Amino acid sequence: MLTERQARILEFVISEYVENASPVASQYIGEKYPVGASSATIRNEMAELEEQGYLNQPHTSSGRVPTDRGYRFFVETLMHEEDLSWDAQQTIRHQFHQVEHGQADWTQLAAAVLAQAVHNVALVTEPRTDACRIKHLQLVSLHDYSALLVLVLDESRLKQHMLTLDEICTQDQLSATANRLNQQFAGFSAAQLVASDPQIAPTELLVMDAVIEIMSSIDAGSFDDAHLEGLRNVLSQPEFSDSEHVLGLLELLSESNISRSIPLRSLAGGGVTVIIGADNPALPQANEAMRACSVVVASYGSTGDASGALAVVGPTRMHYSHTISTVRYLASVMSELLAEHYE
């Protein structure tokens, strides 16, 4: 546990470092902030904070910088979350009223608005239901023992899959099979299909096994795709001034890696979640660049209905109070839009 004075000094060091990105000296803290102690006492307290893992001294002669543990203590104990000003709230709402009532428009705009507001990278996923459902399926004969499964799911998602049949089926037989399955299983999720244990013909069972596999794969990967804005904001930060860190960050945020490095769906729980550097095992795939970053993430929408996630990614040296309040407010705006859309 930190003493009241140690907590205040830690807060002052974090405030200065977030603002200036330079190690903070004890003398500077004593001159600028009302600590009520001598420079020597402040220096001793900062040494104690370093010993406890809240601060780090990059060089012997330099000041100190916050560690992941220091930021975590600040966010959970010391930080006072600021409210967005009325003008900022109205500006955000006004921008959403300028776009068409389409989910893709909302998510792309939300990413741009969020990135601009917090001066870091913003990620926003399109809303999806927790589990996809069958709308319609078709079977198209390709050869005596092969057919194309065309699966239409909710939210206009379409998947195609090659089937190898155990017996010769004509197009008429395949169409009849598809009609029976549509009548019986339209609106089902993968879990409901598994639980239904239907008494159906072998060819129908083969089709349904393929449908379950496709839908389960989609459910497991929901929220993978995200609109990204503000990469230039992060690349201009001192933490990414050398080419190695830049390449690492670009790799992290590439389209092929981002869903593994930052699994937004699993991270976005109730409220706003803050992940700081390497202090959270929820990012097992994180590369070296991720260890220098924090993620502030929240979900929008409602559980059981369509929902999505939005997140800010930036250096651990971020304005947490402003970022958290912005993410929280934007998530509430997105939730309202989504509720109106599905009314």
Same domain as 118, residue 23 = no
Same domain as 263, residue 214 = no
Q: What is the pLDDT of residues 126-168, one digit of tens each?
A: 887 767 889 999 999 998 889 999 999 987 778 899 999 989 9
Same domain as 335, residue 200 = no
Provide the pLDDT for residue 223: 43
User: Please, are residues 163 and 146 in contact by the beta-carbon 8 Å criterion?
Assistant: yes
Residue 121, amino acid: V
Number of separate domains in the chain: 3
Q: In this model, does residue 103 exceed pLDDT 70? A: no
User: Please, are residues 297 and 264 in contact by the beta-carbon 8 Å criterion?
Assistant: yes
Backbone angles phi, psi at 224, to 5 degrees: -65, -45
Question: Rounded to two decimals, what is the model's pTM?
Answer: 0.74
* 51 burial via Cβ count (<10 Å: 0-12, 13-18, 19+): exposed
Same domain as 124, residue 245 = yes
User: Please, are residues 136 and 186 in contact by the beta-carbon 8 Å criterion?
Assistant: yes
CA 240 to each of CA 107, 129, 314: distance values in angstroms, whole numbers, following the listed order: 27, 37, 10
Lowest-confidence segment of 64-68, 70-74, 175-179, 288-292 by average pLDDT: 288-292
Query: In the numeric block, which tokens belong to residue 23?
Result: 């190690």
Same domain as 93, residue 150 = no
| Structural domain containing residue 40 | 4-78
Q: In this model, does residue 260 exceed pLDDT 70? A: no
CATH of the domain at 198: 3.30.390
pLDDT band at 261 (very low <50, low <70, confident <90, very high): low
Q: What is the pLDDT of residues 3-20, one digit of tens each?
A: 999 999 999 999 999 999
* Block residue for tokens 């990278």: 121
Distance of alpha carbon 10 from alpha carbon 318, whole angstroms: 15
Q: In this model, does residue 93 exceed pLDDT 70? A: yes
Same domain as 331, residue 291 = yes
Q: Average of pLDDT values for 305-323?
A: 90
